[in-house]
Amino acid sequence: MEPLTIDEIRGSFVNSTRSLVKAMTPPRGFTELPWESLDFLGWRDPKAPNRGYLVVRRAGGVTSIALTTQAAAGKPRRGTGLCDLCNTAHQITNVALFAARRAGTAGRDGNTVGTYICADLACSLYLRSLRDPEVPQGETIAPELRIERLSTRLDSFVNRVLT
């Protein structure tokens, strides 16, 4: 992914209000991000942990999507979960259901789409073995193919938000 500025990111949100975009906290270490290893930029807002952001470079430019998730409640769950974007297996507590308001009128009417994503939104780093998941991976295909599949799934999710 080509590096972006905070202003480019703030100006590319398709499903958020101006006040929420203005309140967005950039990811920690923004100036040191490994841009060359990212297929998309994703992070949880340090000041509002139930909020997350996905920033994707597409043919038409940059598209940013605001996400929400719920904090885990009650007794800690056990088991394994799978990210719908990168197909990385994690402990169930490290995969979260993220919801995004649809863009335009549908979103203003309260319509959302959701998907399970790595809770830290670091799919690109898992695919490139720059971050290790806690669960041994069963998938043995080449990283290039996994990255291609991530791109397809991410594009599908973004299209669902936009339509």
110-129: average pLDDT: 95
Q: How confident is the model at residue 120 (pLDDT cuts 50, 70, 90)?
A: very high
Q: For position 92, what pLDDT does the model report?
A: 87
Task: Determine the pLDDT at residue 78.
Answer: 77
- Which helix (H) or strand (E) is 18 found in, with range? helix 18-23
pLDDT exceeding 90 applies to what percent of the chain? Answer: 79
Mean pLDDT, the chain, integer: 92
| For residues 152-162, average pLDDT | 97
Average pLDDT over residues 113-130: 94
Instruction: Locate 27 and state its tokens.
Output: 């990811």
What integer pLDDT is reported at residue 73 of this predicted model? 61
Does residue 139 register a pLDDT over 70? no
Per-residue model confidence (pLDDT) at position 48: 93
Q: What is the mean pLDDT of residues 6-21?
A: 96
Tell me how far apart the alpha carbons of residues 162 and 92 are, in angstroms, rounded to a whole number.
Answer: 29
- Per residue in 78-117, pLDDT (tens digit) is 788 899 999 998 988 899 999 999 999 999 999 999 999 9
Q: What is the pTM of this model?
A: 0.91
Q: Where residue 72 falls among pLDDT bands split at 50, 70, 90?
A: low
**Type of residue at 37:** S
The residues, ordered by sequence, that sit 6+ positions from 88 with a Cβ below 8 Å of its Cβ are 82, 118, 123, 126, 127, 133, 137
